[in-house]
Homo-oligomer: A and B are copies of this chain.
Amino acid sequence: MARGEDALARLTALVQADLEATNRAIVERMHSPVALIPQLAAHLVAAGGKRLRPLLTLAAARLCGYPAGGPRHVALAACVEFIHTATLLHDDVVDESALRRGQASANALFGNKASVLVGDFLFARAFQLMVEDGSLEVLRILSAASATIAEGEVLQLVTQNDLSTTEAQYLEVIEGKTAALFAAATRVGAVVADRPPREAEALDAYGRNLGIAFQLVDDALDYAAAQEALGKTVGDDFREGKITLPILVAFDRGGEPDRAFWRRTMEERAQEQADLAHAQALIARHDGIGETIRRAERYGAAALAALETFPRSEFRQALADVVEFCVSRAR
């Protein structure tokens, strides 16, 4: 087992009972008399995600002294997973991705319509869970995060196939589409434990930096990893014309022939069989993966620094190890 996976296993073990309660809550609350809803949702849930975001909520709450057994952090962990699953379902529609976690995507199996609508259901159900929890502060955090996620996804769409996208815009995209939910997932831990704003902000900073690091690594992996290790098709981003940091680096550092290649494949979308391999070679030549990973490490370091607000504990150590998990996936 790689170091990173080991870290995630330790975190999982630390909140095992609460994670199982979260899984039960997820199954229970995705129920609907309309049978297709739990069927389709179960397809994603049963796909055995890492439950990274719910784990973050559980661990952040415990870090802040919230007791094991819940119930609030368990309900909100389920809620965070519902929002995440809803965005995956809508992202499948958007990206026409054929594989998700190595399985046929819900979209491919059930169609675009069902994915959009079941995503809507899960999103609404997440808000029902928050209302049951009863904290307006939690509702504020997660409704703001939801709006920011949508903004990030739209910005990604707008910058797709556009090589004039700046690195700042790229970072805005990943901060929206990925880091906003990480930040909200950890921040609500401080809210349920009734901790002061300073700790809520520290957990927000931890989650936000972790999320950016996570997405940077994900974007590196799309050009670097074997499909088996990643659990999804390598080259998805390339085929979809997503402008990610490895490409921005290779484009920026490349000469005119390189740039012509990127313009043809990304902007004109005229891709041929051998293009992905050539893209990977150009990215390797200009150290696009290395640059992206080093950036991820810097955000990872910022996430670790934010944890210093809290006294040492097994939860602080576990959350620190998650940073290692996220960054080390690319090694």
Residues of A within 8 A of B (CB): 32-37, 87, 90, 93-94, 112-114, 116-118, 120-121, 123-125, 127-128, 130-131, 134, 136, 139-140, 143-144, 146-147, 149-151, 153-155, 157-158
Q: Across the interface, do B121 and A93 meet the contact criterion of CB distance under 8 Å?
A: no
Choose among B120, B140, B143 the residue that contacts A146 (Cβ–Cβ < 8 A): B120
Bound complex: CA A32 to CA B152 (Å): 11
Q: How far is the CB of A282 from chain B (nearest CB, A)?
A: 27
Q: Across the interface, do A32 and B151 meet the contact criterion of CB distance under 8 Å?
A: yes
Residue of B nearest to A155 (CB): B34
Q: Across the interface, do B154 and A121 meet the contact criterion of CB distance under 8 Å?
A: yes
Contacting residues, chain B, for A90 (C-beta < 8 A)? 116-117, 120
In terms of DSSP, what is the predominant structure of the interface of chain A?
helix
Contacting residues, chain B, for A34 (C-beta < 8 A)? 151, 154-155, 158
Q: Across the interface, do A36 and B127 meet the contact criterion of CB distance under 8 Å?
A: no
Contacting residues, chain B, for A143 (C-beta < 8 A)? 124, 127-128, 130-131
Choose among B35, B123, B139 the residue that contacts A131 (Cβ–Cβ < 8 A): B139
Contacting residues, chain B, for A153 (C-beta < 8 A)? 117, 120
Q: Across the interface, do B94 and A116 meet the contact criterion of CB distance under 8 Å?
A: yes
Contacting residues, chain B, for A114 (C-beta < 8 A)? 154, 157
Contact A36 B117, CB 8 Å, known A112-B112, A125-B147, A146-B124: no
Q: 8 A-B pairs, CB-CB below 8 angstroms?
A: A36-B157, A117-B154, A121-B147, A121-B154, A124-B143, A124-B150, A128-B143, A130-B143
Bound complex: CA A159 to CA B132 (Å): 32
Q: Across the interface, do B127 and A146 meet the contact criterion of CB distance under 8 Å?
A: yes
A93, A124, A128, A155 pick with most chain B CB within 10 angstroms = A124
